[in-house]
C-alpha cells in the first residue's frame, strides 16, 4: 500500500502535471492557430480593454443579467470556483506539497477553514447535479459528458474530505484522493472542463464585440 502511495504521489503526479501542462499548451496553441487561420474577421476585433471589462463585470456576483436571473446557480458557481482554487492551492496539506516538491512556501489555510470550504465545494457540486436532474431546461441539454465532468471534479473533494476525517482506511482514501486529483488535472484539457482554458477568450471576444463594435453592454 505504501508503495502504491509513493507511486501515485511521485511519478504519477509528474505524469498528471505533465499531461495537464503540455495538454493545455497544446490545446491553446492549436486553438489559436485555428483562429488565426479561420476566424480573422473575429480576431480583428479582439480588444484588451473591452475584453477585461467584460471579464470583470462577469466576475462580480449578481452584477449581470445572467447572474441576477438564477441566484442559486450564481452562488453555487462562485462558491465552487473560488473554493476550488482556494482548496487546491492553500489547503494545509497542499501547501506542504508545494513546499516539499517545488520549494515554494505560501501561507496555508487553517484546517477548519479548509474543511468548511471543501464541504462548500461539494455542496456546490450537489447543486449542479440537482440542476441537471431537476430543472427541465438544464436536464434536456445534459449529456454524459456533462455528468462525467461533474463527477471528476467532485471526486477529489469527496475523497479528500473522507481522508481528512478518517472515514475508511486513511491510506487508501489518501491514495484515492491523489488519484482523483491527478485524473482531474490530466483531463482538464480534454473534457468539458477545458472551459477553464477557453472561457477567458470566449468571454473576452464577446466583450470586445459588444464594447468595440456594438457599443452596448454584454452583461
Partner 1 sequence: MSQIADRIISDPGLENGVAGLTTEKIQKVVNRMLEGETGAKLKAYRETCMRCGLCSQACHFYVSHDNDPSYSPVNKATETMYELMDKKGKVEPQRIYEMAQMAYTECNLCKRCAHYCPVGIDTGYIMSMVRRICYLLDVVPQYIRDTAHSHASTMNQMWVKDDEWIDSLQWQEDEARDEFPGLRIPLDKEGADVYYSVIAPEPKFRTQLIYQAAAIMNAAGIDWTMPSEPGWDNSDMCMFVGDFENMGRLKRAHYESAQKLRVKRIVMGECGHAFRSVYDMGNRWLGHKKMPVPVIHAVEFYHELMTQGKLKITHKYEKPVTIQDPCNIIRGKGLMDKLRDVVHFLCEEVVEMTPNREHNYCCCAGGGVINCGPPFKNTRMTGNRIKADQLRATGVKDVVIPCHNCHGGLEDIIGYYDLGMHGKFIGDIIYELMEKPEM
Rule CB under 8 A: which residues touch partner 1? 31-32, 34-35, 37-39, 41-42, 44-45, 54, 58, 64-67, 69-70, 73, 77, 131, 135-143, 146, 192, 194-195, 198-199, 201-207, 209-210, 213-219
Closest separation between CB of residue 167 and partner 1, Å? 31
Nearer to partner 1, 70 or 111 (CB): 70
Closer CB to partner 1, residue 157 or residue 205?
205
Contact 131, 90 (CB under 8 A): no
CB of 52 to partner 1, least distance (A): 13
- Shortest distance in whole angstroms from residue 19 CB to partner 1: 18
Q: What are φ and ψ of residue 103, in 5° steps?
A: 70, 20
Residue 85 cell numbers, joined: 482554487
Smallest distance, partner 1 to C-beta of residue 120, A: 19
| Cβ closest to partner 1, residue 9 vs residue 47 | 47
Specify whether the CB–CB gap between 138 and 131 falls below 8 A: yes
H-state helical runs in 39-143:
40-43, 48-58, 65-69, 71-90, 92-102, 111-134, 136-139
* 60/170 with CB nearer partner 1: 60
76 CB contacts (<8 Å, ≥6 apart)? 123, 124, 127, 128
Considering the complex, state which of residue 7 and residue 130 has its C-beta at the smaller distance from partner 1. Answer: 130
Work out how close the CB of 171 gets to partner 1 at its nearest, in angstroms, rounded to a whole number.
Answer: 35
DSSP class of residue 216? S
Query: Cβ(209)–Cβ(39) under 8 Å?
Result: no
In the chain, the N- to C-terminal Cα span, in Å, equals 52
Amino acid at each position: 500500500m505504501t508503495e502504491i502511495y509513493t507511486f501515485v504521489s511521485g511519478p504519477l503526479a509528474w505524469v498528471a502535471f505533465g499531461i495537464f501542462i503540455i495538454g493545455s499548451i497544446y490545446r491553446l496553441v492549436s486553438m489559436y492557430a485555428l483562429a488565426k487561420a479561420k476566424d480573422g474577421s473575429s480576431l480583428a476585433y479582439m480588444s484588451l480593454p473591452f475584453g477585461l471589462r467584460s471579464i470583470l463585470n462577469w466576475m462580480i456576483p449578481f452584477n449581470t443579467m445572467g447572474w441576477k436571473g438564477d441566484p442559486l446557480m450564481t452562488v453555487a458557481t462562485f462558491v465552487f470556483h473560488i473554493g476550488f482554487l482556494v482548496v487546491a492551492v492553500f489547503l494545509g496539506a497542499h501547501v506542504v506539497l508545494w513546499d516539499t516538491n517545488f520549494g515554494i512556501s505560501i501561507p496555508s489555510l487553517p484546517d477548519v477553514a479548509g474543511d468548511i470550504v471543501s464541504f462548500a465545494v461539494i455542496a456546490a457540486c450537489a447543486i449542479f447535479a440537482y440542476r441537471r436532474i431537476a430543472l427541465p431546461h438544464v436536464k434536456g441539454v445534459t449529456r454524459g459528458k456533462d455528468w462525467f465532468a461533474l463527477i471528476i471534479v467532485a471526486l477529489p473533494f469527496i475523497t479528500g474530505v473522507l481522508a481528512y476525517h478518517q472515514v475508511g482506511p486513511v491510506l487508501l482514501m489518501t491514495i484515492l484522493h491523489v488519484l482523483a486529483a491527478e485524473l482531474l488535472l490530466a483531463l482538464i484539457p480534454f473534457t468539458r472542463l477545458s472551459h477553464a482554458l477557453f472561457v477567458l477568450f470566449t468571454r473576452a471576444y464577446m466583450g470586445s464585440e459588444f464594447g468595440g463594435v456594438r457599443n452596448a453592454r454584454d452583461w
